[in-house]
Chain A
Amino acid sequence: MKNLVFDVNVILDLWLERQPEDRLLLIAQLIESQKSGAAGCWIASPSLHVLEYLARQQFKKEGVEPARARQVVKRLLAHLLKNLRPLTCFGFQQDEALLAHSDLEDAQIIKAASVLHGPVAIVTNEKRFDTTGTDLVQLSPPQADLWLQDPAPLPAIAFIDLQAQQNRMRPVLEEKVHRVLHHGQYIMGPEIAELEAALAEYVGVKHSITVASGTDSLEIALRALGLGPGDEVITVPFTWISSAEIIGLVGATPVFVDIEPDSFNINVDLIEAAITPRTKAILPVSLFGQMPDYAAINAIAARHGLTVIEDGAQSFGATQQGRRSGGVTTIASTSFFPAKPLGCYGDGGALFTDDDELAEKMRAIRTHGGVRRHHHPLLGMNGRFDTLQAAVLLAKWPHFAGEVEARGRIGARYSEPLKDCCVTPGVLPGNTHVYAQYTIRVAERERVAEALKAQGIPTAVYYPKCLHEQPVFAELGYRWGDFPEAERASREVLSLPMHPGLTEREQDRVVAAVQAVVG
């Protein structure tokens, strides 16, 4: 997305009506492009006091009583900050700003603008900024209007655009991260409890336990259930390795069950055939952002006295019959890996349960098996979620529901035109899909991927190899052909660019490119 950083003189023109009406409307329109989503609109923090001084001085010259002038200008600034995002000029940028050829205020504006991702224009009445060494442009309001409308080719499409998301939430992100830097409780700070409460309420469970990674969350769940050598856990062979890796890590044995071709999730009809006297749990994966049929899975588990653990690493935000991923099994886990629907800026994860005893155990295992300081009745791990990462998620949290809605809309918009030329992801009745990945199936996958790459469209393959093909699981004795749907999926799947900020124009480019090569 393009960004506009407004110079003081343009805002003063608007406030003090120093231009004709049509120009004032144009400036107002540019500012409102933030709300319409046409641009990210900013005011650099070093500009704020200048605006205050100059507006008050104008009113003073007009004979306005100082207290009244101050009140009016404060209200104007408050209104401005409701419509423009404040852009920070950091302490570490001051040295370079001081050494710039232009005056300090102008240099600070340039430094502040330079942290933004994507094209940035300074909207100003005078090209006086020294933008040497940056990609910033300086435009008058009419030029900025044309610039926003310019349909010039956009850069390559992002597979997942975390930078645009960061722009959208930057002021809150800075606030939340700064709060941690200030209070200094980097381990289990107050952000952890705040986030856990928000997550539990959202999922609809009694307990949410944040942990250091999605992988850790699964291992903690299995340890809390007491699983170990001699036990079997049913899962799928078509997923990220963590799902089966942690079964082996606790000493248990992964038992694979093939997937359904449409949803890529576990084939519920095949589960019971895999149950043995040693089976203790079923660990289905809600792959790519949609849940398998948990009503059926829970019923099977109940018949055989098994525990169900949802691996919801990719499905946080998805629902099934109105219940959210994380809230339909005895234990559920998710991942906050950056590319996930709710991703932090590092590794992270969470566990969910309604079971008080399991929650207590999982909390203890997360912290070296301790239930209070220097008292460790269990073997645990160093599995705590970082306070700074919790702060990042708290900054993202107000946007999350909207992003989930956008993901569903974008996924459906992909499927409509693509369903005629390739296999699109099926959505089970009663499910909503968050499309952590939008994954199609195509023959000649490499040819399609190359054709898209040539047009600046990235793709990815999740997953090119099934888990039973991995050397680490060779001792399980599985052979090629044991899981035909998983094996076929591993040869045909291709994930397309997918993120909540994907524009219709970008999506149309992707669709056209896919249709051109396979249509």
Chain B
Amino acid sequence: MRVEALYDHGQIKFNPPIHFATECFPVIIQLPDAEVLAVTNSEAVEAPSATASPVGSHLLEDIREILGPLARRRPAVGVAEDKATLVEVLGEKYGIPKSKLGRD
């Protein structure tokens, strides 16, 4: 299947959105030559940096390794939104209709 996609700050966005059967699979992407500045081989990418890593970077790297392809920048979320999401999740867990969530 050939589809159009937009590369945007490290993410590939499909238009229209596509639902996949699995979370991780290999793909071949054709990139416009004019957009490619340089290709760095994977060994070079994985080579340890000669300079000291900033404090906290190892912990962050560990988290990104656990997340794998799920590691990506997401928009900031306020505490109120987190709380609303929690209510939503608990509603789903205990079978409470959305229409009744948030009512005292």
Contacts and interface: CB of A to CB of B under 8 A. Distances in A.
Contact of B56 (A16, A29, A58, A68): A29
Interface stretch (B1-9, B25-33, B41-49, B82-90): B82-90
B62 to A, nearest CB: 6
Nearest to A83: B59
- Chain A binding surface SS class: helix
B92 to A, nearest CB: 8
B89 to A, nearest CB: 4
Interface string B69-92: 011111111110010011011100
A266 interface: no
Contacts of B88: 57
A57 B82 CA distance: 10
Contacts of B23: 64-65, 68
A25 B57 CA distance: 6
Nearest to A23: B76
B66 A25 contact: no
Q: Give the contact-size bracket for chain B.
A: 20 to 34
A63 B58 CA distance: 28
A26 B59 CA distance: 11
A137 B77 CA distance: 23
Interface in A36-83: 50, 53-54, 56-59, 62-65, 68, 72, 75-76, 79, 83
Contacts of B75: 18
A125 interface: yes
A102 to B, nearest CB: 12
A82 to B, nearest CB: 9
B57 A54 contact: no
9 closest cross-chain pairs (CB), A and B = A28-B56, A29-B56, A28-B59, A126-B79, A53-B89, A29-B55, A25-B56, A28-B60, A75-B66
Given A18-B77, A32-B59, A75-B66, 12 more contacts: A17-B71, A18-B76, A24-B60, A28-B59, A30-B56, A54-B82, A54-B85, A54-B86, A57-B89, A58-B74, A76-B66, A126-B78
